[in-house]
Amino acid sequence: MTAKTGVRGGLIERFLDAVRGRGLSVVLPEGQDLRILAAARRLKEEGIAEPILLGPWERIEAAADRAGLGLEGIRTIAPLQSDQLDDYAADYAERRGLDFSVARRVVKRPLYFGGMMVAAGDADVMVAGAVKPTALVIQAGVLTVGLAEGVATPSSFFLMVLPEFQGTRDKVLVYADCALNVAPNPAQLADIALASAQTARGLLGEEPRVAMLSFSSKGSASHAEVDQVRRALEIAGRKAPGLKIDGELQADTALVPGVAARKLKEPGAVAGRANVLIFPDLNAGNIAYKLTQHLAGARAIGPVLQGFASPLSDLSRSAGVDDVIAVVAVCLVQVSRAARHAAAG
């Protein structure tokens, strides 16, 4: 991960309020890191979540002592001494077709142990990456929690909070993928779109309207790169026929009703009204989110991982305590709202 999350406030405070006191839990595999310890203390004290720290108890205790942080009321687990290790290893061995002894050597690692806790329902979300690189967090997530049904490509998103847009204050848009997939093929781009739609549904509390972005709007230009976006749209449409998704669209056509009306004969349900923007590659996504952040004064919350069967996320290795709490809040809101939707359905 290469970017920091936004500071707490506004949208993140609403997320924190939504999950506070609900008894949700977050497993934090990097329990010896001082930022993680401080975040765990605040999560506990503010009633946001039940933190679970992973790592050798004596090392966690020593790190907490150095930082002047108490561990009262915070659950800590040393995977090698855990009563659950063999159960998780047996489950992992069965899933992956491995010998038990091999599975046990894998699952004793905190990232994998934490992922198995989420997979088993013993923790609601996992947040890691303050110490471990993104690639290892994703690998552990794929092999333990697994990917969401119909998704073969993990990806990332940003929540972009604009101070004002088209008369709406604190307008929130989902940008993807801005941090992970460099040059997605059409199938991968479709996966990013579907995962982002699910993200928007869970976090924004509104129907996703997904725009597949390009430098062309509905045939205004011809190029192999445009064809990639069109093929991705076809794949996503087949996988999710009820989803409001359209493309290829230029950014202004996707966002501004007047532009959509001028450029398109039939704007449809997405053009001019998009709340999810899918970029054709990492160049476009990374440039766009940073321009939006610095030129429009938007707050960028993320990147957060998506496409997994249960929420989990990576952290920037330069993340501060507020950044850890913000990412935890985003993940927990997704769990909370998914549970409510399941109960209602």
Residues 334-344, mean pLDDT to the nearest whole number: 66
pLDDT score of 9? 52
Is the pLDDT assigned to residue 342 strictly greater than 60? no
CA distance 54 to 226: 46
Q: Where does the pLDDT of residue 276 fall: very low under 50, low under 70, confident under 90, or very high at 90 and above? A: very high
Residue 100 · residue 93 · CB < 8 Å:
yes
pLDDT score of 66? 92
**For residue 169, what are its two tokens?**
């204050």
User: What is the secondary structure of 93-123 as a DSSP string?
Assistant: HHHHT--HHHHHHHHTSHHHHHHHHHHTTSS
11-146+309-344: which CATH architecture?
3-Layer(aba) Sandwich (3.40)
In sequence order, the 6+-apart residues with CB closer than 8 A to the CB of 20 are 46, 47, 48
**For residue 280, what are its two tokens?**
């054709």
pLDDT score of 231? 97
CATH topology agreement for domains 11-146+309-344 and 155-300: yes
pLDDT digits (tens, 9 = 90+) for 258-272: 999 999 988 899 999
- Read off the amino acid at residue 15: F
Residues 18-35, mean pLDDT to the nearest whole number: 95
Domain boundaries, the chain: 11-146+309-344, 155-300
pLDDT digits (tens, 9 = 90+) for 172-184: 999 999 989 999 9
pLDDT digits (tens, 9 = 90+) for 33-46: 999 999 999 999 99
CA distance 286 to 129: 20
CA distance 165 to 26: 34
Q: Where does the pLDDT of residue 317 fall: very low under 50, low under 70, confident under 90, or very high at 90 and above? A: confident
Residues 290-299, mean pLDDT to the nearest whole number: 94
The CATH label, of 3.40.50.10750, 3.10.20.90, 3.40.50.300, 3.40.47.10, for the domain at 155-300 is: 3.40.50.10750
Q: Rounded mean pLDDT of the chain?
A: 92
Place of tokens 């934090």: 28
Q: Where does the pLDDT of residue 341 fall: very low under 50, low under 70, confident under 90, or very high at 90 and above? A: low
Residues 85-111, mean pLDDT to the nearest whole number: 97
Q: Where does the pLDDT of residue 10 fall: very low under 50, low under 70, confident under 90, or very high at 90 and above? A: confident
Of residues 120, 182, 178, 181, the one with CA closest to residue 153: 181
Is the pLDDT assigned to residue 191 strictly greater than 80? yes
pLDDT digits (tens, 9 = 90+) for 49-68: 999 999 999 999 999 999 99
* 345 vs 317, more confident: 317
Is the pLDDT assigned to residue 5 strictly greater than 50? no
pLDDT score of 301? 87
Residues 199-211, mean pLDDT to the nearest whole number: 92
Residues 299-316, mean pLDDT to the nearest whole number: 89
pLDDT score of 219? 80
Q: Cα-flanking dihedrals φ and ψ of residue 266, to 5°?
A: -130, 95
Is the pLDDT assigned to residue 93 strictly greater than 50? yes
Percent of the chain with pLDDT over 90: 81
Q: Where does the pLDDT of residue 1 fall: very low under 50, low under 70, confident under 90, or very high at 90 and above? A: very low
pLDDT score of 6? 37
pLDDT digits (tens, 9 = 90+) for 221-248: 889 999 999 999 999 999 999 999 998 9
Q: SS3 for 143-200, per residue?
A: HHCCECCCCCCCEEEEEEEEEEECCEEEEEEEEECCCCCCCCCHHHHHHHHHHHHHHH
Least confident of 188-192, 243-247, 336-340: 336-340
Is the pLDDT assigned to residue 142 strictly greater than 70? yes
